[in-house]
Structure 1
Amino acid sequence: MRKGGNGGAGQGGERGKQRQGKKKGRISKRGLGYGAVMAPERCISCTTFNILAPIYKRLDKEDQSCRESQYKGYWLSRNQNIIDRLLGEMSAIICLQEVWLGNDELVDMYERRLGDAGYISLKLARTNNRGDGLLTAVHRDYFRVLNYRDLLFNDFGDRVAQLLHVESVVPSCQSRNSGIQQQILIVNTHLLFPHDSSLCIVRLQQVYKILQCIESYQKEHNLSPMPIILCGDWNGSKRGHVYKFLRSQGFVSSYDTAHHYTDSDADAHKWVSHRNHRGNICGVDFIWLLNPNKYRKPLRASWNEAVFGIIKYLLVAASLSKDNAFAFLKADSPGDYITFSGFCQALCQLGLTGHPHGLSPQDIQDLWIQADIDGNGAVDYEEFLQGVWNPKWSEQAEENSERGAEVGSKAGAERQQAYGFDVKNAVLFPPEVEKGMWPEDYSLSDHAPLTVVFSPVRMPCSETVC
């Protein structure tokens, strides 16, 4: 994977310094609860930022081999500016991607400066010595780390994730009477770049593994319901399959929530956070929030529906109408229905199987079981329409989430109480990206840092998680 630089060798110039120093769009010191935010509740803030590893940053469009890592003065100055900005925000949680972990001097600089500012840092390199990785830092004034896990996907792309289980140092106003410190699960990750459509499955599998890991961790430690925050570079937009998959599991995009944006295509390009190596601008950096009162359908069911969404996308991309798509999946079946063998053949033709990072035999079997609604060993036209062509899984998740909240409000004090978050504010920097534009004089990275402010709230948890 890699993304090209967005400027020439003068990235450390005066214009770049001016851009880094602008205060507009900054949630200054609000992450640590200073100023008006302290009353009546102690808010926390979280920042996610792909800082563009110097080994990937191109300095010359004509010479792709010319990288910032070859010029210490350039990468040192840029990363010092990045740390300055992070320390200016002083978020309680910082999640960084593309940290050049292969360079000890750069790593030491981050750990030393963040440590001096009160942060505990945890880092994780990508597998197979790729050179970069993740760094997650939490501020000691806000959290203590109860547990930590590395998640190695061991798949195409050498991707990884970090899982932190943290507890608030000081009880929130909402929990002070009970003396219970609020606990949170935090994930930091960087998904594979979708170089072609076959890799959509890999990215979906990566998210599935993250959610599986979270579920397993919660069960293993018999945890009470708590909010889950997923941060990172998801390398996919609001129109993508990963976005829809997470929404079906009850997660909300904090930035979109703060700005009252919907999941509709009309709001899909209201903001951007990345200019990729192809020169395209898109919104790929998210801080996802799942509160304990959110309904969650079975994880495997959501994943199957997401895969069906990819299948439909590929069929539509091949200019097939729904009738022709049904015929394609039906293959050589003698009747007016899809057989399992025809289904397998079609998946192979779509490029979803037959290679190391494609669907496994168990994946295919699970998909077939969900598609064959009546369990008679064949998928007829109506089942095809319901399961593949017109799935309403995202909408169903919203309806179920509302139903869970309604149940919780009726049960009131009889129900178990949990502590979650309200999204109070969210800001992308530089401010132009919030309007869907990418400024040419921005030189911190090819990504925009996203900072979200959360306020703790008490809430009844959903029956599915209590």
Structure 2
Amino acid sequence: MLIVSSSACRLIIIAVCCTWASSSTPSELHDSLLLRDSGGCWRRPRLLLRGGAEEGAGGGASQCVCRGRDVLVSTFNMLCPLFRRVEGEERESSFPAMYRERQQEIISLLETCGSDIICLQEFWVNNEEMVKMYKDKLGSKYQWMQLSRTGGRGDGLVTLLKHGIELLDQQDIIFHDFGDRVAMLARMKLSSSSCENCQHLPRPEIILINTHLLFPHQPYFDIVRMRELRKILGFLELYKHIRCQGFTPPSAILLCGDFNGYPNDVQYKYLRHLNFSASCAQDSRWVTHRNHKGELLCSDFVWLLNPRDHQGPLDANWQDMVFRSTCQRVASQTCMLGGSRFSPDQGAGGHDSNESSILYDASRHEWRMNSEYFRMALNNLGFGDVASGLSDSQIRNMLAGPDRLYVDNDALLHEADVFKLFDLDKDGKIDEQEFTGICSSLQVLETSDMIRQAFMHLDANNTGYIDSEVFARWWKDEVNQIFTRTERAEGFKSMYPADGLDKQGSELHLVESKIHPSKLEEGEWEHGFNLSDHGMVTCRYWLPPFGFP
């Protein structure tokens, strides 16, 4: 099948007809040629046959064959005025006229690109004037979602969806780390064609995640950035089982944003290992970011994972990444290694028997183990590629650095968060059906009788539901204790039967990807481009009708 745009289609049709005239009948050519109309719907053209008859005649400029639609996805780090240096150490936020002019130009760029989905990072969400400016200009075309970074940073994420897209659900993903980074999940339904005659077709679902990972100011920050990425994948894994009924029918996943990395780093390789495809190849010359040091990097991506490429759990340790803190994970792995707990300044041979039961002293925010055992624990937790590249001094810097203030309480989901996620009808209670869903999704209890008995025990007053306080005690005292890496990882693999991976879902096919300004595709920064220190990455995907082979 040949797919071309409607622009200059006459010349293309003539060229194709001349090339195939000796080997193809007009009807065969007609069946293999598709044109995209102004609405994004793929159509077969009318072909003039010998004698003046028209193939597919009967009214209309062309025959709609329900061949799907284009989906445009853009990601852009806007460079928040709070962080943009303009005069020495002054920030653009101190000059309203300056940042307003730049924001107007960014709005014009977004209007021009006309993407169906736009993911923005470093949006000044705490500035009501700026939020209103964007909503006034873009609100007629787009639905608006925003999420602030934690810690009062001022900036955050904005996701824009065209009004024709049905938003099914939105979830905030809070990393609880010292970078105050976040991610935003949106589950949506797209029409598989913009043609009115095709609206009877099923509407495929897509899951979109917009994020901005930590900038690696220090070498060990790569571990934190990898932890953030895996928390996203862990949350997504949990979400599939709770809100998507095990991902049936399967959905395509789009992961967009500023990853503050480059195509040769471990995060890129990790996503490729999971069969995600990137908006640019690993050996691409693309640059998307000029950082504060003047370095040119490719750090902004649109990642795609189609259903047929989904091979079991996105992360074998996803339960730990979601429900346990870094301190808990490291402690469990060190115990499995049989290692003694060392203070960072004692070295491999030192051992303080009075502190032998302590890995992390929360009151002093201090690790009590040496870099060797810490690296071994990280390796067992799946961070080996990152940890192996760090020297002992860099590991010690991590153990004594700002991350130590968060590792005791940096679980992605705490009891209240889990309760809200499983409270599907949002009535502030969990009934027996929702409780059964929790236990089944997480394989907490093995049989329906065990689940029933557990619910009756927790519902001591026979009210038919569990409130948040009872749930929190149950989760903290019982459920959270079962998440050990090896046993749970093997258990969750059984949730992906081989025949389930072949189910037809919503497949996106990358047609092209580009950067604005285009000179960045050549590996050079565009002179005079000052809208941001990032370029805008846009991917054009073809979405066939649901169930189309």
TM-score band, normalised by shorter chain: 0.5 to 0.7
Matched, 1:92 2:138: no
Matched, 1:163 2:192: no
Q: State the partner residue of 1:357.
A: 403
User: What is the aligned counterpart of 1:130 among 153, 173, 191?
Assistant: 153
Moved more, 106-115 or 345-354: 345-354
One-letter identity of the residue aligned with 2:288: S
User: What is the aligned counterpart of 1:447 among 534, 538, 542?
Assistant: 534
Matched, 1:271 2:286: yes
Using the TM superposition, give the Cα deviation of residue 440 of structure 1 relative to its aligned residue in structure 2, in angstroms: 2.5
1:293-372 matches, within 5 Å, as 293-296=308-311, 298-301=313-316, 343-344=372-373, 349=392, 350-351=395-396, 353=399, 357=403
Structure 1: distance between partners of 2:317 and 2:175: 20
Count the aligned residue pairs: 342
Q: State the partner residue of 1:105.
A: 129
Secondary structure class of the residue paired with 1:137: strand
Matched, 1:57 2:84: yes
Using the TM superposition, give the Cα deviation of residue 417 of structure 1 relative to its aligned residue in structure 2, in angstroms: 1.5
Deviations 1:276-325 (A, max 9, x none): 0111110000000000001435444488xxxxxxxxxxxxxxxxxxxxxx
Using the TM superposition, give the Cα deviation of residue 108 of structure 1 relative to its aligned residue in structure 2, in angstroms: 0.5
Q: State the partner residue of 2:92.
A: 68
Matched, 1:180 2:202: yes
Retained in 2: the 8 A contact 1:43–1:454?
yes
Retained in 2: the 8 A contact 1:249–1:297?
no
1:397-412 matches, within 5 Å, as none
Retained in 1: the 8 A contact 2:201–2:545?
no
Identity of aligned residues (%): 34
Structure 1: distance between partners of 2:371 and 2:205: 48
Secondary structure class of the residue paired with 2:189: strand
Using the TM superposition, give the Cα deviation of residue 55 of structure 1 relative to its aligned residue in structure 2, in angstroms: 1.0
One-letter identity of the residue aligned with 2:298: G
Structure 2: distance between partners of 1:102 and 1:421: 35
User: What is the aligned counterpart of 2:143 among 120, 137, 154?
Assistant: 120
Structure 2: distance between partners of 1:249 and 1:460: 24
Deviations 1:198-219 (A, max 9, x none): 1111111111111111111110
Structure 2: distance between partners of 1:74 and 1:458: 46
Pick closer, same or farther for the CA change 1:171–1:220 going to 2, 3 Å: farther
Structure 1: distance between partners of 2:531 and 2:400: 41
Retained in 1: the 8 A contact 2:167–2:187?
yes
Q: State the partner residue of 1:379.
A: none
One-letter identity of the residue aligned with 1:120: Q
Moved more, 281-290 or 237-246: 237-246
Deviations 1:5-40 (A, max 9, x none): xxxxxxxxxxxxxxxxxxxxxxx9xxxx75395324
Secondary structure class of the residue paired with 2:304: strand
User: What is the aligned counterpart of 2:268 among 238, 243, 258?
Assistant: 243
Using the TM superposition, give the Cα deviation of residue 416 of structure 1 relative to its aligned residue in structure 2, in angstroms: 2.4
User: What is the aligned counterpart of 1:434 among 497, 518, 521?
Assistant: 521
Using the TM superposition, give the Cα deviation of residue 170 of structure 1 relative to its aligned residue in structure 2, in angstroms: 5.4
Moved more, 157-166 or 38-47: 38-47
Q: State the partner residue of 1:10.
A: none
Deviations 1:241-294 (A, max 9, x none): 2111211221110x22xxxx3x3xxx15x1100100111110000000000001
User: What is the aligned counterpart of 1:194 among 204, 216, 222?
Assistant: 216
Using the TM superposition, give the Cα deviation of residue 179 of structure 1 relative to its aligned residue in structure 2, in angstroms: 3.0
One-letter identity of the residue aligned with 2:542: S
Using the TM superposition, give the Cα deviation of residue 356 of structure 1 relative to its aligned residue in structure 2, in angstroms: 6.0
Retained in 2: the 8 A contact 1:232–1:286?
yes
Using the TM superposition, give the Cα deviation of residue 456 of structure 1 relative to its aligned residue in structure 2, in angstroms: 1.3
Q: State the partner residue of 2:73.
A: 46
Structure 2: distance between partners of 1:445 and 1:341: 42
Structure 2: distance between partners of 1:220 and 1:71: 47
* TM-score for both structures, normalised by structure 1: 0.66
Secondary structure class of the residue paired with 1:205: helix
Structure 2: distance between partners of 1:138 and 1:77: 24
Structure 1: distance between partners of 2:214 and 2:373: 25
Matched, 1:147 2:162: no
Structure 2: distance between partners of 1:206 and 1:145: 25
Structure 1: distance between partners of 2:158 and 2:191: 21
Pick closer, same or farther for the CA change 1:342–1:79 going to 2, 3 Å: closer
Retained in 1: the 8 A contact 2:184–2:209?
yes
Retained in 1: the 8 A contact 2:192–2:546?
no
One-letter identity of the residue aligned with 1:90: G
Retained in 2: the 8 A contact 1:48–1:449?
yes
Structure 2: distance between partners of 1:277 and 1:165: 35
Using the TM superposition, give the Cα deviation of residue 458 of structure 1 relative to its aligned residue in structure 2, in angstroms: 6.9
Pick closer, same or farther for the CA change 1:149–1:36 going to 2, 3 Å: closer
One-letter identity of the residue aligned with 2:78: I
Q: State the partner residue of 1:387.
A: none
One-letter identity of the residue aligned with 2:514: V
Pick closer, same or farther for the CA change 1:220–1:129 going to 2, 3 Å: same
Structure 1: distance between partners of 2:130 and 2:485: 50
Deviations 1:155-198 (A, max 9, x none): 1110111100000145579x969831011000111111000111
Retained in 2: the 8 A contact 1:415–1:460?
no
User: What is the aligned counterpart of 2:231 among 186, 195, 209?
Assistant: 209
Structure 1: distance between partners of 2:91 and 2:400: 36
Deviations 1:212-241 (A, max 9, x none): 111111100213210000110110001112
Q: State the partner residue of 1:397.
A: none
Structure 2: distance between partners of 1:301 and 1:145: 29
Using the TM superposition, give the Cα deviation of residue 151 of structure 1 relative to its aligned residue in structure 2, in angstroms: 1.0
One-letter identity of the residue aligned with 1:168: L
Aligned CA-pair RMSD: 3.7
Retained in 2: the 8 A contact 1:249–1:302?
no
Structure 1: distance between partners of 2:177 and 2:371: 28
Pick closer, same or farther for the CA change 1:427–1:347 going to 2, 3 Å: same
Query: Looking at both structures, which has the greater relative contact order when contacts are Cα pairs under 8 Å and sequence separation is at least 6?
Result: 1
Deviations 1:407-429 (A, max 9, x none): 98xx9xx9521121000111101
Secondary structure class of the residue paired with 2:68: coil
Q: State the partner residue of 1:416.
A: 503
Structure 2: distance between partners of 1:282 and 1:71: 28
Structure 2: distance between partners of 1:431 and 1:182: 32
